[in-house]
Structure 1
Amino acid sequence: MKITVIALGKIGLPLAVQFASKGHQVTGVDVQQSVVDSVNAGKEPFPGEYRLEELLQEAREAGNITATTDYAEAIPGADAIVLVVPLFVNDDTWEPDFGWMDAATRSLAEHLTPGTLISYETTLPVGTTRNRWKPMIEEISGLKEGEDFHLVFSPERVLTGRVFEDLRRYPKLVGGLSEEGTKKAIEFYEAVLDFDDRPDLAPEKNGVWDMGSAEAAEMAKLAETTYRDVNIGLANQFAKFAESKGIDVFKVIAASNSQPYSHIHLPGIAVGGHCIPVYPRLYLHTDPDATIVRTAREANMTMPAHAVALAKDAIGGSLSGKKVIVLGASYRGKVKETAFSGVFPTVSLLEAEGAEVFVHDPMFTADELKKFGFTAAEEGQSADVLIIQADHPEYKEFGPDTFAGVKAIVDGRNVTDANKWPGVERRVIGAAG
């Protein structure tokens, strides 16, 4: 097949490489010339994705993948087009910003030829595929969906750093606007993906699953991620209450989860990443009455402030003039990614308290941290307070010899060892102070 992948980001490029690894001819489209140049040179444009550069080089050597910025080169004659263009959400209104996706959709529609399957993999509010993309593509292309081309929604369900593994592990969900479109999408994904055996899914088998409609596929992706945000919100509520009563919430959660009907997640200083903080807002876009979803999202957004309050308590009052090091710019451990990371509100809140704030992260250079507006911390420097924001494994080994003069620690991820910090006031979110 001739396949076009639009947007060669941290999901799109691994997808393109996966398709090419199955022997198909793949053209990737990206607005950044630097990304296109890297792909055509067989070099990954961003670090951290397991086996990406190795598989990209193999695909380039086989002549199965190329990249361009030109839609006119990539779209005509394609058997299938897969879009993984970012969808943003306004921080103030929580409304989706379709700007980039609208632009990509218009560009592909201008060059669309009959007989093409179009699959959107970017997470969308329910109804977007049918009510936004279908009329837009039909109007611009002059072609009719269901006759001249087929349109489906098939959400990406992978995490950066382990995309190739997750593509095999999880069922591929497909929802079309017509029975024929769904059939073609199933045939397409069965031709480009491999699936691990999953006896735990019985009586279903791992593979491509027909969701029955685009709306069901859209909701499935929103539901699985919104569930996590709501669950973490509940865990954070439990954590705050446990702290006030001198209870270790981690023991409570372990005890609760020891029977099969409880699956309580872990509390923490922040919920970050491209997915969990964003997709509940996309769900609320079409279900504004979902009070549980809204409350959980708002509760999770209070956790950086809670961590700063714990720091003030641990230090014995004001943070004004105190040297505070936030450990972790990444939104989660071992990932070089800051999307919606708790580092941003935590640093802002500390600065508002008058603290002198530094940021440490083993995955970022001092110059990279500076670009975010942070002052980089160096191991060996002095600090009054440490706040653990990301659960990088290095932080488990830190002790008084790492940063001098530490008087208080707020562990937002429950990763530090109290025995390594004798005489230091230590607060763990969800544990007794």
Structure 2
Amino acid sequence: MNICVVALGKIGLPLAVQFADKGHKVIGADVNEKVVELVNAGTEPFPGEHDLDVKLKKAVDAGLLTATTDTAAAVAQSEAVVVVVPLFVDAEGTPDFGWMDAATRAIAQGLKPGTLVSYETTLPVGTTRTRWAPMLEEGSGLTAGEDFHLVFSPERVLTGRVFADLRRYPKLVGGIDEASGARGVAFYEQVLDFDERTDLPRPNGVWDLGTAEASELAKLAETTYRDVNIGLANQFARFADKNDIDVKKVIEACNSQPYSHIHQPGIAVGGHCIPIYPRMYLWNDPEATVVRSAREANAAMPEYAVDLLAAAYGDLKGAAVLVLGAAYRGGVKETAFSGVFPTVEALKARGAVPYVSDPMYTDEELAAHGLTPHQGETVTAAILQADHAEYRELAASDLPDVKVLVDGRRTTDPARWEGVRRVVIGG
């Protein structure tokens, strides 16, 4: 099968490599000429994705994966098109479809009868049917559901472990009609492998949800659930702080009962997914008060962490504070909606002088994000923002002038911080 993957980012490129690894011929289309050049050379354009470097080189050397900036031409050569173009939203959750509109118009130019088009980018409910179908029809002169098949099939993976997650989780598909759904199922059964699992209501594999709208909602719902769950955990943690209770022990006790699945509290919820998709859901359903409250609770946590620091340290005016971790989560070189930014702003609002360090970033990279890199300046307080594995070994001797450490992720070892007031969220 000839397949086109549109957008070779942190999800799209591993998908293209996965398809090629199954023996299909894949053309990756991307507007970034540098990315296209690196992919054609068999070189991963971004670090941190397990096995991508080896699998990419193997696919390119075998002639099964090439890249181009000409999306229309790539689509014209393909029987299936998978779209993973980013969708941005503003602070209120209003989608900016600019990049996806441009990609869809380019796809339409190369679309031919019999092609399957699958959107994997997370979307507001109804987008596949009411936006992409008319746009593809207008640009191609073809009719969706008759001349070509159209489905929504959300990505459900985490960067850093994409290949493992593709095997582990069921692939969800929903078509604009029954034939499109069946074609989507058949396609993904040919390009993916699945682990055997006994904890699912039906066998692992490709699940047809019946409609594109159901598939769109499934992705928003599963991500919004995580945000709401974390928001609840953060509320418990703040109550525990006021009442001298260790919320970690409480959560462990609750989760010993099979109907309780409370997540862990923390300084921030970052990344491309959890902070964004609940806002996208609210765009569909503005009366969802539970979702809105949870989003507000989680967005307030960086400020709360600085409150904890001020309570333990005293007046922060003029204090040099080191924020440990620019990434939104440990082990991933990505700052999308990272808690580092609101944490730094909250420190500045208190008159503190914030510095940032991160084992995955150079000083130049931190500065490019508008952050002040720590270059050996004396700091008297610290806030751990990202749970990098390196911070488990961090000790008071590494920051000898620090008087107070707020560990926003419960990552540091208390035994290594004797003599320093170590504060964690939730007691």
Instruction: Decide: shared fold, TM above 0.5.
Output: yes
Paired residue for 1:198? 197
Paired residue for 1:62? 62
Match of 2:255 among 254, 257, 277: 257
Indicate whether 1:373 and 2:373 are aligned. no
The Cα offsets for residues 319-369 of structure 1, whole Å up to 9 and x where unpaired, read as: 111010000101111111111100001011111211111101111111111
Secondary structure of 1:426's aligned partner: strand
Match of 1:417 among 390, 413, 425: 413
Secondary structure of 1:139's aligned partner: helix
Aligned positions of 1:28-427 closer than 5 A? 28-91=28-91, 93-202=92-201, 204-316=202-314, 318-378=315-375, 381-427=377-423
Match for 2:368: what amino acid? K
Match for 1:425: what amino acid? R
Secondary structure of 2:354's aligned partner: strand
Match for 2:254: what amino acid? S
Match for 1:51: what amino acid? D
Checking the alignment, whether the CA contact within 8 Å between 2:331 and 2:388 is kept in structure 1 is yes
Q: Taking every aligned residue pair, what percent have the same amino acid on both sides?
A: 65
Alpha-carbon shift at residue 381 of structure 1 (Å): 4.5
Match for 1:82: what amino acid? V
Match for 2:207: what amino acid? W
The Cα offsets for residues 149-207 of structure 1, whole Å up to 9 and x where unpaired, read as: 010000000000000000000000000011111111111101101111111115x1110
Alpha-carbon shift at residue 136 of structure 1 (Å): 1.1
> How many residues are treated as equivalent by the alignment?
427
Deviates more, 1:412-421 or 1:167-176: 412-421
Indicate whether 1:11 and 2:11 are aligned. yes
Checking the alignment, whether the CA contact within 8 Å between 1:77 and 1:116 is kept in structure 2 is no
Match for 1:24: what amino acid? H
Match for 1:386: what amino acid? A
Deviates more, 1:383-392 or 1:349-358: 349-358
Deviates more, 1:65-74 or 1:223-232: 65-74
The gaps in structure 2 that reach 5 residues or longer are none
Match for 1:348: what amino acid? E
Secondary structure of 1:263's aligned partner: coil
Checking the alignment, whether the CA contact within 8 Å between 1:115 and 1:148 is kept in structure 2 is yes
Alpha-carbon shift at residue 400 of structure 1 (Å): 2.1
Checking the alignment, whether the CA contact within 8 Å between 1:314 and 1:409 is kept in structure 2 is no
Query: TM-score when scaled to structure 2?
Result: 0.98
CA distance in 1, matches of 2:416, 2:167: 41
CA distance in 1, matches of 2:329, 2:72: 39
CA distance in 2, matches of 1:194, 1:78: 21
Alpha-carbon shift at residue 397 of structure 1 (Å): 1.6
Alpha-carbon shift at residue 77 of structure 1 (Å): 3.6
Deviates more, 1:259-268 or 1:419-428: 419-428
Checking the alignment, whether the CA contact within 8 Å between 2:396 and 2:420 is kept in structure 1 is no
CA distance in 1, matches of 2:134, 2:73: 24
CA RMSD of aligned residues (A): 1.0
Checking the alignment, whether the CA contact within 8 Å between 2:72 and 2:111 is kept in structure 1 is no
Paired residue for 1:23? 23
The Cα offsets for residues 249-295 of structure 1, whole Å up to 9 and x where unpaired, read as: 11110111111010000000000011100000111111111110011
CA distance in 1, matches of 2:348, 2:421: 21
CA distance in 1, matches of 2:418, 2:179: 67
Secondary structure of 2:199's aligned partner: helix
Checking the alignment, whether the CA contact within 8 Å between 2:267 and 2:385 is kept in structure 1 is yes
CA distance in 2, matches of 1:383, 1:418: 19
Checking the alignment, whether the CA contact within 8 Å between 2:80 and 2:115 is kept in structure 1 is yes
Secondary structure of 1:201's aligned partner: coil
Secondary structure of 1:357's aligned partner: strand
Alpha-carbon shift at residue 67 of structure 1 (Å): 0.3
CA distance in 2, matches of 1:416, 1:336: 20
Alpha-carbon shift at residue 418 of structure 1 (Å): 2.5
CA distance in 2, matches of 1:376, 1:360: 6
Match for 2:252: what amino acid? A
Alpha-carbon shift at residue 413 of structure 1 (Å): 0.5
Checking the alignment, whether the CA contact within 8 Å between 1:395 and 1:415 is kept in structure 2 is yes
The Cα offsets for residues 183-240 of structure 1, whole Å up to 9 and x where unpaired, read as: 11111101101111111115x1110001011011001111111000000000000000
Checking the alignment, whether the CA contact within 8 Å between 2:81 and 2:118 is kept in structure 1 is yes
Match for 2:390: what amino acid? E
The Cα offsets for residues 371-419 of structure 1, whole Å up to 9 and x where unpaired, read as: 11222224x6521111000111211221222112111111101122232
The gaps in structure 1 that reach 5 residues or longer are none
Deviates more, 1:415-424 or 1:325-334: 415-424
Secondary structure of 1:119's aligned partner: strand
Checking the alignment, whether the CA contact within 8 Å between 2:404 and 2:422 is kept in structure 1 is yes
Deviates more, 1:359-368 or 1:396-405: 396-405
